[in-house]
Structure 1
Amino acid sequence: MSATASIIYLKGVGSKKASILKEIGISTVDDLLNYFPRRYLDRSAMKCIRDLADGETVTVVGTVLKTQLEGTHPGRARFKVWLGDATGQLELTWFRGVRFFSRSIVSGDALAVHGKVSYFGRQAQMQHPDYDRLTASPHEPGEGEISDFDLYHTGRIISIYPTTDAMKQAGLTSKQLRTLVARAFDEYRVRSEENLSQAILSDYHLLPLREAYHEIHFPSSHEALELARYRMKWSELFYVQLMFALRQSELRTSKRAVIFTHSGVVTEQLYRTLPYELTDAQKQAVREIYRDLKTGSPMNRLLQGDVGSGKTIVAMFAMALAADNGLQSAFMAPTEILAVQHYLSMKRLFQPLGLRVGLLTGKQRKKERQALLEALGSGELHIAVGTHALIEGEVSYAGLGLVVIDEQHRFGVLQRKALREKAVNPHVLLMTATPIPRTLSMGVFGDLDVSVIRQMPAGRRPVRTSLCYEKELAKVYDFLRSEVAEGRQGYIVYPLVEESEKMDLKAAVESFEELSSSVFPDLRLGLIHGQLTPDRKEMVMDEFRRGEVDLLVGTTVIEVGVDVPNATVMVIEHAERFGLAQLHQLRGRVGRGEHGSTCFLICSMPTAEARERLEAMVSTNDGFIISEIDARIRGVGNVLGKEQSGPLNGLRIADLTRDFDIMQSARIAAFRVIAEDAQLRAAEHGVIKAHYLRYYQDRVTLADIG
């Protein structure tokens, strides 16, 4: 029978266990083999009793000769077992769980015990050893023999599998799972077929698949286990990268985009009128974008950079190039506040160069909106800035050549797709100010070209970050007051989480009222949160930008993009309730001008994980380092979110926070295969295509590759 057979046909499973296994994704023998151990115990140091040495940790196999329960008073009782083999006796003692062990172990049991050896006189002893009761063998060994199946559980490196409460109640322990996997190898034609070509196996020094499966479940040595894990991780990441390679190949070979033939007056004037010099990292990003726009294939590039690294001006150079080539640009932002801010800054730079910039949001007056739509449709409007209003059905463009999506992770796939469909294969630039570790970037955006800006503009000073407790609030408020006295401004931010949004909002509003009346009655305070109308939010932000508000109190609506250089203090209340990425984004709202800036993280009683987050914020201003810490603490899926995790949802063994080198190796191989054979038609790629169609077709269909 094939390994694709239902798990119910495997001896020892049955309908009840099959139902429980199905809940964790094990429906077939094949699924069982891909249910990898989460850790391993080394029981390979197996000795007979006469050879035991004081202080060593070993495994001993023998028969229970005698048991003895001593004492009955709780805390004073102990249970003793004398284990014997052909060479001597070993005394075992348990002081905890005495009742359980005294009922579980009886004379005549065959046990494998694992623990540290000590001696009392000449008597070898172990205290609280781990033990396995050795089962009857299906091969009926002779008296005193250990069966092959017993040796899957002791005397070797043994695998420990993830188990749920339901599994444990049904007897599906790690030991039972090891037995089922052993039977699968014994009874079925398991994984004799390869999923990589012989050339790849040879070039990258990979174990054959069947051998890797056996070693990962039943390691013969630590070295063999590492080779097996490497092979499994490598092939898993290879197929993720193969999907990206296929997508990229299809985009570049079957879709054509307008060629940007030259840079002209707009680009030159923009560069000449900039009030500052671009950083080397910004110049490199501009060069990479220009190179894409001149190829004739649709650009599909991700521009990522830390808070304040200057991504927007890089995007503006791309828009200037579009204008020089007679094409329109659309810039989509996730919030109206951010859209308005981008609109104002682009208008300030582009209007003197003869470009018309328009703002499209969901709350505009009908007459104003209609005039903008007509200008967009006629080509009079060169650049449209807006929210999701840019993708509504009535919006049409005369010649859309470039789409820029800011904070792209905050838009759904369908929203991004709708904006792309406003033109025939427009060039697309995605931007994010939430730095992503390079391994995650390669795993999530593997079909994109990536430009990274890690260099900060000249004069940008790091923000001093201080962790404070609520009892220190008075000192923090005194500091805020002194900064305002010097002509500066500040923020006070309260958490707002979906599960308790109404309560959080009420607390923020009440805090604003108390701050206004009791703490800072002599200062000008503004309140901003998501429940305000767009007009009201924009009015408050305008007052803050113009310096008419000293302290802006709000929720995380100010998290992204708010740019007020005069603001030098950020106070984050209940900081332990924020994620690392959010904290870093909020801190990025200060330190944007010539004055030194400070961020106060106010907390009450943080958990150990929250304290690790807060201490990471204090230790560094580098968003890329923070993102790596965040991925390590919370895991890839939580950092990226469901929308971004994509193919990473299906990873069984690879860890993107640790396996960058493996990812890079697998990526090189996958892209090389598609460069040589984009349709996987060559005979040597037959096994790759077959495996891809079987396991990955539901993620990227062959229609995607032509």
Structure 2
Amino acid sequence: MNIYNDISALKGVGPKIQEALGRCGINNILDLLLYFPRDYEFTSVNVDMDDIDEEEKRVLECEYIQYERDIRTKTGKTLTTLIFKYGELIIKAKWFNQPYIKKTFVIGGKYNLYGKFKKCNTYLETVNPVIINDAINKSGIIAKYSLNSALTNKLLLKLVNQALEEVRISENLPRNIVSKYNFISLDKAIRSIHFPVTKGELEEAVRRLKFQELLTYSIKILMVKKLFKSNKRGIAFNICDEMIRLKEQLPFSLTNAQSRVIREILIDEKKPLAMNRLVQGDVGSGKTIVAVIAMFNVVKNGYQAVLMAPTEILANQHYKEIRKLLMNFHVDVEILTGSTSSSEKTRIKEKIKEGTPLVLIGTHALIEEDVELNKLGIIVTDEQHRFGVNQRSKLINKNNQADVLVMTATPIPRTLSLYLYSDLDVSIIDELPPGRQKIDTVFYEERHRKLAYNLALEQIKLGRQVYIVCPLIEENEDLKLNSVEKLYDSLKSEFFKEIPIEILHGKMNSKTKEEIMSRFKENNTKVLISTTVIEVGVNVPNASVMIIENAERFGLSQLHQLRGRVGRGQYKSYCILIANAKSNITKKRMMTMTESNDGFYIAEQDLKLRGSGELFGTRQHGDTGLILSDIMEDINLLKVANAEAKGIVYSEDEINMKFCEEVMKGLEKSSKYICFN
């Protein structure tokens, strides 16, 4: 079996299971093997009866000896009881509404039962135990995966085990690196992260895989940087005469910080060298108008300007705003996204192929091969951390003389920017426009969540609107998190009975998302329950409340981004964090949010707090595309991996050059950074 085989190649994966796996991003064998556990449960194996704690789960190897006749309970459920022998002890295992469970067992067979065991005089009793395989039984370390309603932990373990029996993963790091850091093999690391024999082995697997992920991530960025630096040629643009008139006609005054950054960009545009600049600005600092002025100058020089946004919602918003800003200046503005009609796509592609000067706004559709930007002058990527480096490089390759401007509202601590943006010229907008409302941030424990919804109701009565953000689309019993669907049902029947309320999440098609967002912008919908699809750039000035459920599941920078969706109009605004704050770290993170609205300060605090992150906790990886590492939490490992990557990328050694080629080829097949065979 090949790691790129479709997931349906595994036994037991029919259409329904395949669809459920697809919703978790598992489409082939590699996706499955890189779908790492979110956490681990450490449990004892085969203990004496005296050592059994009824509140702790155990794995006991039992012999199945007989079954009792099914009975119907008072509540109408079917109770199936099977009898097992554990040494000299009898175990009664009970299942509700699963009469078929009897067919799973053979009299005299040995089975590993996993669950809580209750002492009942001379026997033990367990309810709905799970049967697990020998790989887990050897260790007592049980991997716990993120699930959806159609997937169980048992099924995922079974499928991963089946896949690992069929494949061998070849080593793909240079031998000298494996030896230098005393890494276990890639094959063993993948096996051990799913089925660890000891905690020490698990730690070694995580160390190896994190390093590989960060090394590949660094190589990918450095290769794009190398490509950009190898081409020193650029286009020297004149500063157009209409620039002053555009600034005068803006419906607002530019801040000093915006004016400074615009000057830096225009100086770059005048040079006959390709610009490569990052604009960092906190949420609401006004990065978009800076990009508009940069693109306006390029178009007035007879070239094409491209703005790539991470979502269709944001692309459409940019399109409407930029058309409005430039309507008096005879600037052609077009939009190209996945949902653009075929006839419109053909018309726009013909226009840009002919070299017509224009501003082209779009999503990933801009990097399709048949989009021929024959007179490309500048590329702007909005929220650049949302795009893979390969996607950005594909756009750059459409004309490697074009200026490149990348923008982010995610403040990056200086310590990290040295590794992530070492070759970029950095401009920082460190001033908010006048009139931006200060957002009051409050933290509530889950038991006080009604206070949040009472405030939301008060604001709705005043004519305002409310965002509610959840980390999941579907309810996950294992994680006990609020999902959009569950929360919608609950709030619709309790708090917002007569109030227009809708759901928005990333798995909806573009047209549906746009329609829902339009209704919210037009104030037809009062409450929008959403996943983090609204995190970036969505602008609804009338929204004054942001409620974030399970706030402990988000990184601080992400919480700050979400908070920035409110306070965009003239109204007093609130951000309410509802969290299950069991640990001191979580409490400190929530307090950081309530004490500061400064994104750069928050990013620094995030780095400090996550520096002592736990090995076996749920991590927030932001939008880097990393699936195991966390750039903030693993800063020291990133430094080491980055140094090794530089040694490989900038070496003239033939073996190193070939290794880089293999990495980049592998990343074309899979966006995952860890395994690139």
Q: TM-score category by the smaller chain? A: 0.5 to 0.7
1:311 aligned residue: 287
1:442 aligns with 2:477: no
What letter matches 2:392 in structure 1? Answer: R
Helix, strand or coil at the partner of 2:405: strand
Provide Cα deviations, 1:328-369, integer angstroms capped at 9, x if missing partner.
Answer: 101001111111111111111112221111111112221122
SS in 2 for 1:598: strand
Alpha-carbon distance between aligned partners in 2 of 1:483 and 1:647, rounded to the nearest angstrom: 36
Tell whether the 8 Å contact from 1:459 to 1:594 is kept in structure 2 after alignment.
yes
Work out the number of aligned pairs and report it.
454
Match of 1:412 among 383, 388, 395: 388
Indicate yes or no: 2:448 matched with 1:479. Answer: no
State whether residues 441 and 594 of structure 2, in contact with CA within 8 Å, keep that contact through their aligned partners in structure 1. yes
State the one-letter code of the partner of 1:522: E
For each residue in 1:497-532, what CA deviation from the matched residue of structure 2 results, as whole angstroms up to 9, or x when unmatched? 899699999931232133223311222212211222
- Give the structure 2 partner of residue 31 of structure 1: 180
| Aligned mates of 1:423, 1:168 — CA distance in 2 | 45
Q: Distance in 2 between matches of 1:629 and 1:612?
A: 9
Match of 1:507 among 460, 474, 483: 483
Change (3 A) 1:648 1:424: farther
Q: Which of these residues, 229, 232, 239, is aligned with residue 262 of structure 1? A: 239
Amino acid at match of 1:262: I
Give SS of 1:257's match.
coil
In structure 1, the partner of 2:349 is 373
Residue identity matched to 1:407:
E
- The answer on whether the counterparts of 2:471 and 2:482 sit within 8 Å (CA) in structure 1 is no
* Unaligned segments of structure 1, at least 5 residues: 1-21, 35-162, 170-239, 657-662, 664-669, 671-687
Q: CA RMSD in A?
A: 4.2
Amino acid across the alignment from 2:549: E
* Aligned amino acid, residue 263 of structure 1: C
In structure 2, relative to structure 1, the CA distance for the partners of 1:577 and 1:647 (3 Å cut) is closer
Contact 2:472 2:482 in 1 (8 A): no
CA contact (8 A) 1:401 1:426 kept: yes
Distance 1:295 1:524, change over 3 A: same
Give the partner amino acid of 1:286: I
1:647 Cα shift? 14
Distance 1:697 1:498 in 2: 45
Q: 1:513-532 to 2 correspondence within 5 Å? A: 513-532=489-508
Greater mean deviation of Cα atoms: 691-700 or 432-441: 691-700
- Cα contact 1:253–1:297 (8 A) shared by 2: no
Q: 2:376 matched to which residue of 1?
A: 400
Q: 1:694 to 1:378 in 2, by over 3 A?
A: closer
Residue deviations 1:248-294 (CA, integer Å, cap 9, x gap): 798567431111122222x2332111111111111111111111111
Q: Which residue of 2 aligns with 1:236?
A: none
Q: 2: distance between equivalents of 1:272 and 1:689?
A: 50
1:290-317, Cα deviation, whole Å (9 max, x unpaired) = 1111111111111111111111111111
SS of the residue aligned with 1:374?
A: helix
Aligned residue for 2:577, secondary structure, equals strand
Residues 520, 251 of structure 1: alpha-carbon distance in 2 compared, 3 angstrom cutoff: closer
Residues 475 and 428 of structure 1, relative CA distance in 2, 3 Å threshold: same
Matching residue's letter, 1:612: K
Residue 273 of structure 1 corresponds to: 249
- Please state if 1:165 is matched with 2:200: yes
Q: Determine if contact 2:224/2:389 at 8 Å carries over to the other structure.
A: no
Asked if the contact 1:329/1:402 (under 8 Å) is kept, the reply is yes
1:624 equivalent to 2:600? Answer yes
- Give the secondary-structure state (helix, strand or coil) at the position aligned to 1:430: strand
**For 1:436 and 1:288, how far apart are their aligned partners in 2?**
20
Q: Residue 221 of structure 2 contacts residue 389 of structure 2 at CA under 8 Å; is this kept in 1?
A: no
Cα distance between partner residues in 2 of 1:259 and 1:538: 38
For residues 377 and 296 of structure 2, the distance between their equivalents in structure 1, rounded to whole angstroms, comes to 11
Residue 604 of structure 1 deviates from its aligned partner by: 3.0
TM-score normalised per structure 2: 0.60
Correspondent of 1:336 among 295, 303, 312: 312
Q: TM-score, normalised by structure 1?
A: 0.57
Q: Percent identity?
A: 39
Name the CA shift for 1:263/1:696 in 2 (closer, same or farther; >3 Å): farther
Q: CA deviation at 1:402?
A: 0.3
Shift in CA distance, 691/249, structure 1 to aligned 2, threshold 3 Å:
closer
Aligned CA distance change for structure 1 residues 260 and 354 (closer, same or farther; 3 Å): same
SS state at 1:314 partner = helix
1:373 maps to amino acid: K
Equivalent of 2:560 in 581, 584, 599: 584
In the alignment, the residues of structure 2 paired with residue 286 and residue 598 of structure 1 have an alpha-carbon distance, to the nearest angstrom, of: 32
Aligned equivalents of 1:699, 1:499: Cα separation in 2: 46
CA distance, structure 2, for counterparts of residue 603 and residue 505 of structure 1: 10
Give 3-state SS (helix, strand or coil) of 2:467's partner: strand
Q: Is the 8 A contact 2:475 2:485 kept in 1?
A: no
1:559 aligns with 2:560: no
CA distance in 2, matches of 1:646, 1:374: 42
Shift of 1:489: 1.1
Aligned CA distance change for structure 1 residues 523 and 421 (closer, same or farther; 3 Å) = same
CA contact (8 A) 1:360 1:387 kept: yes
SS of corresponding position for 1:428: strand
Describe how 1:72-151 pairs up with structure 2 within 5 A: none
Amino acid at match of 2:416: L
Q: Amino acid of the residue matched to residue 258 of structure 1?
A: I
Residues 499 and 256 (structure 1), Cα distance of their counterparts in 2 relative to 1, 3 Å cut: farther
Give 1:571's aligned residue. 547
Larger radius of gyration between Structure 1 and Structure 2? 1
Using the alignment, how far apart are the partners of 1:308 and 1:689 within structure 2?
Answer: 40
Change (3 A) 1:519 1:244: closer
For residues 647 and 582 of structure 1, the distance between their equivalents in structure 2, rounded to whole angstroms, comes to: 13
Distance 1:464 1:322, change over 3 A: same
